[in-house]
Structure 1
């Protein structure tokens, strides 16, 4: 691992040095994130622990990032960022390599280039900004709340989020703009070299030829996303997304190709400074390569009220999430597709229970949000300076009953998924150092088999940014 980090630093130094002759400014940065996680009854809700992949997990993970933002002039800049995240498993789960015998506690990981893009602002004095290359759609670049577009590489967890994309942002006014984006994602990174090899498990579940699996299949997408502010109180964000998911060439699961159109609208309306509503609705339609027709709906609505004059300055959110499920009596497939948002949205625990439910669509990658009705309440507060607290209760239902799923985990009869309780505490020690504790409990109901047990997810984290 020490050699890998030194190799990464050397590579970044060479890249930065080669461009420094033309640069007028450099902003070098680093980020370290250390996590401990404990998964108890997550993937099969404790109903099947004989298979290694279904076993409970207790592990440490260290993500290290190093970057340089290079400014050539007021219009042109370049970002280069390296990333790696080795993990150490303490059991009972372990890393199984391709001979199906070699068991490893340590996942050495590869050093990857997870950001490499060129920014060009207002070329030829046009009302247009261009970003070309490997980039994240996070922070100020997030599309809405990340409901459909957030993580381009769900296969490696939260190590990377990048998209290989070309983005053009057309400014219609100071408040209104439209983005045009073309992107292409691969099952493993084939566009840029890795500086240190990962393992090879031989079946493409977690690794493909010494590189991490990033997606369930090769993917292509085009989308246009508008941001309009017709009045000070209202923000409207209409969009159209086309996504193609190819037949998987390396997965052991038969996943047909998919062609999906998405037309949606997100809106935020502020009644007052402390009261607002957020909502989004999307219609999905298309087909699989086997001829199956696809029709689905998805959306959410949240009413958010802040109480700035109360102790701890709480904010209360009451909301509802709807993701259509597949009607087992229909010849069509009505199941919602989360597109590029196979990541923790409203909680983290549930994304792992979705693995066996959707493995013929998602492959061995968590986070395929679908078939869900979820009323929820969330409270955020700051009881003391630099400390924030989040508590949430979520009641989960299935939109449709399932069919032919493994009976050791699923009842294939009920629609009550169960109850989820979530708590997160964040503390900011300094401007550069912060920590976090997260705990979730899920109590399953009749959507799952009678043998399903209560699941627990725990995470402790500390991170430093330079």
Structure 2
């Protein structure tokens, strides 16, 4: 063990716990609001890359994330807020001898993942504005949730300006959002301990116009949106990206992507609910014309019993790139590169795209949710996965595909989520993937993901 890194990890945890004690006593003091949490995770992953012969395919590590936040309200309209975050990791697998670039003890950066000023009801109007580093989730987060996919759920922030206009008489809300996202943590507000880490592969700017209506159809949320995203490459030596203590290669995007979409979330009857979202994309990506389509939907039946049992069926379609066309048809998840339905697949997507970059997909899912205990919810799902096309992001990745099949495999997932008290929560998650004939012969070994988490909140 590297003693200096161990001391730094211990110091980070100690500082978080010390701050948490102060916060607990002051969190309701006047116009100030304070809070803190400490997230502890143990993760086991087998066969990253679906190759059992790989010396670096198995991962075992711990994650320690501490956050401290506060806000100050001036009157009823003005508010400023900040959240300070630190996360360290310790890796048991892969062995350092098999991956010399791995930092066994990774101390990570200390940075603000929220730093905002905001105003409500400006000039007596239903207009509010929020400026600065902030979390933004639109709809179910299908296309807009994750601004920092390379740090693995440590943060999800956007550097953005958001204006919201609420038309309460019409049950409608309009959002206009401008995003200016740096590829790394090198610009203000920089990491306080000087660590420079990659947060995504390219510099990104964008504009989102998002409308939500709750009055046109009873029991139904209707959303419509337009998204523009400009990608400017962030070149690094051999395309290496540095985050989480394990450098890896991942190429930048360039170009301009436009997307138009619709979303509906409806309570059809006391038992039945339907959610559906679709989007069409066009523009240019990496010097090719883009034309892509995506759909994501869920039908849910609620038994309305004492255990709150629900069953659901999902279908998701993300177009793949036709290898016989000069244009690009691969659906771009935009700011949706996060584990929406699988933690394990986040680690397998780089075989053909990038971390968390789901595309070229047909997914059928059936699942069950039940409140098995007053404190605990159980979620069980089965996913059947196909590819839309025999294609990858780069020519070098084609060796990972068989070329004669489109079945990605069977994926089984289970979550046990518990809220023990106001201050303590946690979960267990397990996933198992049985790869299909879409992958090359040496990429068809079964893979699993297991994670245990405890969160302490003040």
Q: TM exceeds 0.5?
A: yes
CA distance in 2: counterparts of 1:219 and 1:449, whole angstroms = 34
1:206-355 pair list within 5 angstroms? 210-229=195-214, 230-250=216-236, 252-253=238-239, 255-288=252-285, 290=287, 292-309=288-305, 312-355=307-350
How many angstroms does 1:11 deviate by?
11
CA distance in 2: counterparts of 1:163 and 1:68, whole angstroms = 18
Q: Does 1:367 align with 2:363?
A: no
CA contact 2:391–2:398 (8 Å) conserved in 1:
no
Q: Does 1:105 align with 2:104?
A: yes
How many angstroms does 1:225 deviate by?
0.4
How many angstroms does 1:408 deviate by?
5.7
How many angstroms does 1:160 deviate by?
0.5
Between 1:167-176 and 1:397-406, the stretch displaced more is 397-406
CA contact 1:95–1:104 (8 Å) conserved in 2:
no
Give the 3-state SS of the residue equivalent to 1:435 in structure 2.
Answer: strand
Corresponding residue number in structure 1 for 2:47: 41
1:461 to 450, 453, 456: 453
CA distance in 2: counterparts of 1:218 and 1:344, whole angstroms = 22
CA distance in 1: counterparts of 2:52 and 2:238, whole angstroms = 23
CA distance in 2: counterparts of 1:416 and 1:277, whole angstroms = 27
CA contact 2:16–2:66 (8 Å) conserved in 1:
no
Name the CA shift for 1:346/1:4 in 2 (closer, same or farther; >3 Å): closer
CA contact 1:216–1:251 (8 Å) conserved in 2:
no
CA distance in 1: counterparts of 2:402 and 2:75, whole angstroms = 62
Q: Give the TM-score taking structure 2 as reference length.
A: 0.88
CA distance in 1: counterparts of 2:412 and 2:66, whole angstroms = 31
Q: Does 1:179 align with 2:175?
A: yes
2:418 to 421, 427, 439: 427
For structure 1, the residue ranges without an aligned partner over 5 or more in a row are 13-22, 198-209
CA distance in 2: counterparts of 1:413 and 1:392, whole angstroms = 28
How many angstroms does 1:409 deviate by?
3.3
2:140 to 145, 148, 155: 145
CA distance in 1: counterparts of 2:160 and 2:278, whole angstroms = 25
Corresponding residue number in structure 2 for 1:27: 33
Task: Provide Cα deviations, 1:9-28, integer angstroms capped at 9, x if missing partner.
Answer: 9999xxxxxxxxxx951111
Name the CA shift for 1:186/1:251 in 2 (closer, same or farther; >3 Å): farther
CA distance in 1: counterparts of 2:435 and 2:347, whole angstroms = 14
User: How well do the aligned residues superpose, as a CA RMSD in angstroms?
Assistant: 2.4
Corresponding residue number in structure 2 for 1:382: 371
1:185-204 pair list within 5 angstroms? 185-189=181-185, 190-197=187-194
Task: Provide Cα deviations, 1:399-426, integer angstroms capped at 9, x if missing partner.
Answer: 1112645466321221100000000001
How many angstroms does 1:234 deviate by?
2.0
CA contact 2:258–2:281 (8 Å) conserved in 1:
yes
1:395 to 384, 395, 401: 384
CA contact 1:95–1:107 (8 Å) conserved in 2:
no
Q: Give the TM-score taking structure 1 as reference length.
A: 0.87
Name the CA shift for 1:280/1:93 in 2 (closer, same or farther; >3 Å): farther
CA distance in 1: counterparts of 2:189 and 2:18, whole angstroms = 16
Name the CA shift for 1:357/1:93 in 2 (closer, same or farther; >3 Å): farther
Task: Provide Cα deviations, 1:207-248, integer angstroms capped at 9, x if missing partner.
Answer: xxx322100110001011000121322211000000011122
CA distance in 1: counterparts of 2:329 and 2:446, whole angstroms = 29
CA distance in 2: counterparts of 1:249 and 1:406, whole angstroms = 20
Give the 3-state SS of the residue equivalent to 1:304 in structure 2.
Answer: strand
